[in-house]
Amino acid sequence: MAILGSFAFEEDFLGAARKLKSSGFDKLSLLSPLPLEEAQEIMGLEKSPVRHFSLAGAIFGAIAGFAMAVATSLVFILPTGGRAIITVPPFLIITYEMTILFGVLFTLLGFHFVSGLPAWRDKPYLTSAGIDRFVVIVEGAAADQVARAEAIIRDAGADEIRHVEEDQ
Amino acid sequence: MFDHGQPSYAEVNKDILSTMLETGPKYWMLLGMTMSVAGICFFMPWIYQLFVGVGAAGMNHNAVWGSYLSNFIFWIGLSHSGTLLSAVLHITNSPWRKSIYRSAEAMTLFSLMTATLFVMVHLGRVWFVHWSFPIPNQMGLWPNFRSPLMFDVMAITTYLTASSIFIYMGSVPDFAAVRDASTGLRRRLYTIFSFGWRGTAREWHTLGWAYTFFAVFVIPLAVSVHSIVSWDFALSAVPGFHHTIFAPYFVCGAIYSGTAGIVTVMYCLRKFLGFERYIGQVHLDSLGKLLITLSLIWSYINILELFTTWFGGTSFELEALSFRLTGFYAPLYWEMLIFCAFVPLLMLFKKIRWSWNKMLLISILINIGMLTERFIIVATSQPRKFLPDSFGYYVPSWIEISISVGSFAIFVTLFLIFIKWVPAISIYEVKETLKPLRRNV
Amino acid sequence: MSTFVEKLRQYSKPGYYDEFDYHWTMTIDLDRCTGCEACVVACQAENNLPIVGEERFAQSREIKWIRIERYWEGEYPNIKMGFIPMLCQHCDDAPCETACPVYATYHNQDGLNTQIYNRCIGTRTCAVYCPYEVRYFNWFTYTWDEPLEQQLNPDVSVREKGVMEKCTFCIQRIRIAKDNAKDDDRRRVRDGEVVPACVQSCPTEAMLFGNSKDPEAKVSKMMKNTRGYTVLEELNTTPSIVYLKKVHA
């Protein structure tokens, strides 16, 4: 059983969220049409693990880039322009580009990993949350707690409350 | 921020999505027109050239690089507005970025694609272009990573990938908005595009972090891309190419022409999609100020280039310089100076900076000037290299001119397709610039 | 492991990676050059160079691996004309080689700057980077009218459109001479055994070709001539062709 409470005003929504959180409802989802820093604070989100992916990608890209340039020039020894076979300055440019390429790709991977997207399964959602409504979703509340959660949401000033069956 | 009063959240969704979901006959006419121009002016001459050989263009032994490459630099330059500007403004937290960045990034993407097409057109044997990618081939041979052209391949591939990801990730919440507002096939498509986005705090949080990291990666990338394009020229010993100033010169010129391009695109969006409410004086004014700064930097680098050449006093360099200033293409050189160095100074007056029509004119003139600049770099340096025996001229052929015209049609076609697939203004970021909804209003 | 490190170290040094037997070199005595263009014709016949026709010549799209450059000195009536045969200088530090993204041009162990037509994708960067402008691009696919195709040299490939080409120092003749030397159990080709078409056809013997790694070769001695110079020396391309200055009486 999931309870959806939709709010027209940001402050009511945040108030409800805070109250629910302090009352022990942990499986909260806070839907908003725009990023809200307060909502992220309530959910206890600080530094995102995405940054580790970015760093790992950049390091991997740098090593892979330089290694690729060196290894491919050793596969077939073709001297050009009186330069060395392993010519460091131009290879650094390749390294630079590959650092960025893999940095970006790993960040993308990190985004998907951390955010849990893509998630195409049906989840409790109100289309108005994409327009101008702030929605609190309480999931996994025990049967006896549902009324309490509903009361908190209603008291905070929700203009619509809905119950949705959760799929297993 | 908003010239015509602040819209409500729902109005933002409605205004922006309606430009996507409602399509009039005018749009189809315009799309059909640009597509046919692209086909007739770009692809047909190109196919002819593929059969005949690059000799269909006007290049000759004295100037083996021609307008294809100057167009390539122009389009790469135009691509520097969007993603770079968007990323810089995102990191510096400038609110006026939010309603213009989506289209600016689209501009990046499409001008990059056009630029890549020009590389293909330029090549003598484009059917072997895959040999320049670091993928195994039947010869067991890898590309030469010492070559400045290989830097280009790597840089442009990276740039294309990174800016596609950048624009896509920034649009995911808006794809969700499209999904919610549509039905049928479009709904199913956008469900996939939006990854099932719901707008939870966790999703916003992750997107915010990822987006900032994309921006951080994209800024040095964009700077490196045009530096590398300049090294295609600067790494040769050719007088007129061989300048250390070339990398900053190209980067500055790229951002300059790109920003002018944004002004042009903003004008069109405002005029034809009815975004008067979201693209206002503040954007025009900020872009105008940016353009003046860039024009001054650009002029400074030009003076510096002339000065160092003169001060260096090498006979080859002086010969190339005098050919540029007084030779066959001198009128184009002076035209470039007027359009890119003097006309933009008019924007110092607020009256001009605040007028959409005048700014449109100036922005178009700047880009004409920048197109000429690239042409002059390519066309006046090579025919005056070292040995006087090989001094000559290069004049573009009709095929080249037609392909250059056609490339604009390709760009417009891609842009027209874009505005029907992606919200041209970021819905959620416009909402961020609105005053938050409070009960006690 | 240690051999691997050694190898890495070896490959990190600029220049050549081993001592090889040959470094093909040419000297051109400008005092002897009469500008007769016999070398141009010989090269055209030997290397299957296409005849592009009047119109394309006017567009300066002719293909001449060797050309005679004419320079005038002084004012009329005290005017003097000089000739410089200009062909690929086979620079040891060639600017064209690093430019190619697909290794279509590289330096081989004989000191030759080679061009591999099959690899070329036609970016034309090498031609831009070459300060001597001796690289020629196939703007079109050229054909030979009957019966002219009968005179094509079977040892040299015919190039198609979109490919860069240039002087090879008649690499097909070098190859034959090296094969003969191998058959006769000689380590090196004898001096004078390889003669490129231009050198062979020069009526005044202005040109000399040989292996400069062999101190006894004629070309090695000629290189030490005090009149010797290389074209555009200030660009540090270290060309393999030494020109001998014309001395005005």
Q: What is the pLDDT of residue C27?
A: 94
Q: Please indicate if any CB of chain A lies within 8 Å of the CB of B439.
A: yes
Q: What is the pLDDT of residue A79?
A: 87
Look-up: residue for tokens 């030759």? Answer: C112
Q: Which residues of B touch A43 (CB under 8 A)?
A: 201-202, 205
Compute how many other C-beta atoms are within 10 angstroms of the C-beta atom of residue B126. 18
**Is residue B3 situated within a structural domain?**
no
Confidence band, pLDDT 50/70/90 cuts, at residue C125: very high
**Is residue B439 situated within a structural domain?**
no
Q: What is the pLDDT of residue A121?
A: 72
d(CA C55, CA C57): 5
Q: What is the pLDDT of residue C136?
A: 93
Confidence band, pLDDT 50/70/90 cuts, at residue A57: very high
Measuring CA to CA, which residue among B344, B340, B408, B407 is closest to residue B374? Answer: B340
Query: In the predicted model, is pLDDT for residue C10 greater than 90?
Result: no
**Is residue B307 situated within a structural domain?**
yes
Percent of chain A with pLDDT over 90: 24
Look-up: residue for tokens 């509340």? Answer: A141
Domains and CATH numbers, chain C: 18-244 (3.30.70.20)
d(CA C79, CA B435): 84
Q: What is the pLDDT of residues C204-216, one digit of tens each?
A: 999 999 998 888 9
Query: In the predicted model, is pLDDT for residue C127 greater than 90?
Result: yes
The CATH-assigned architecture of domain A2-41+121-164 is 2-Layer Sandwich (3.30)
d(CA C65, CA C168): 9
Please tell me the total count of domains within chain B. 1
Closest-CA distance, A70 to chain C, in angstroms, reads: 10
Which residues make up the CATH 3.30.70 domain(s) of chain A? Answer: 2-41+121-164
Q: Which residues of B touch C161 (CB under 8 A)?
A: 52-55, 124-125
Measuring CA to CA, which residue among B338, B72, B115, B236 is closest to residue C98? Answer: B236
| Best mean pLDDT range from A3-17, B381-395, C164-178 | C164-178
Per residue, the 3-state secondary structure of chain B, as one string, reads: CCCCCCCCHHHHHHHHHHHHHCCCHHHHHHHHHHHHHHHHHHHHHHHHHHHHCHHHCCCECCECCCHHHHHHHHHHHHCCCHHHHHHHHHHCCCHHHCCCHHHHHHHHHHHHHHHHHHHHHHCCCHHHHHHHCCCCCCCCCCCCCCCHHHHHHHHHHHHHHHHHHHHHHHHHHHHHHHHHHCCHHHHHHHHHHCCCCCCEHHHHHHHHHHHHHHHHHHHHHHHHHHHHHHHHHHCCCCCCCCCCCHHHHHHHHHHHHHHHHHHHHHHHHHHHHCCCCCCCHHHHHHHHHHHHHHHHHHHHHHHHHHHHHHHHCCHHHHHHHHHHHHCCCHHHHHHHHHHHHHHHHHHHCHHHHCCHHHHHHHHHHHHHHHHHHHHHHHHHHHHHCCCHHHCCCCCCCHHHHHHHHHHHHHHHHHHHHHHHHCCCCCHHHHHHHCCCCCCCC
Taking 70 as the pLDDT cut, the residues of chain B under it are 1-5, 436-441
Q: Which residues of A touch C107 (CB under 8 A)?
A: 79-82
Type of residue at B91: I
Q: Which domain holds residue B176?
A: 9-134+151-433
Q: Please indicate if any CB of chain B lies within 8 Å of the CB of C147.
A: no
d(CA A58, CA A50): 13
Q: What is the pLDDT of residue C18?
A: 64
Q: Tell me the CATH number at B157.
A: 1.20.1630.10
CB contact under 8 A, B205 and A120: no
ipTM: 0.89
Q: What is the pLDDT of residues A87-143, one digit of tens each?
A: 889 999 999 999 999 999 999 999 998 888 887 777 777 777 778 888 888 877 777
Backbone angles phi, psi at A126, to 5 degrees: -120, 130
CB contact under 8 A, B389 and C123: no
Element (H, E) at A40: helix A37-42
CB of A73 closer than 8 Å to CB of B142: yes
